Copies of this chain bind each other. A is one copy, B any other.
């Protein structure tokens, strides 16, 4: 059975592309990944908080939160 993983973010465009690379690296045979933009889906902020999400982007796998800080390379900002 697929486990559920949820990726919470808030729409930073540089981060979204990097984070999607990260999300798609998860094993599709084991994880069904849902991507939630908390800026668009404010009704789910409370849900994220219940999982323990303190900042975005964050990935929740099997109920465990991983906070991800992606330091964008300067070159992507040119």
Contacts and interface: CB of A to CB of B under 8 A. Distances in A.
B66 A68 contact: yes
Interface in A28-52: 28-31, 52
Contacts of A71: 52, 54, 65, 67
Copies of this chain present in the complex amount to 2
A54 B65 CA distance: 21
Interface in A12-32: 18, 21-22, 25-31
Contact of A73 (B21, B52, B62): B52
A26 B33 CA distance: 12
Interface of A: 5, 18, 21-22, 25-31, 52, 54, 59, 61-62, 64-71, 73
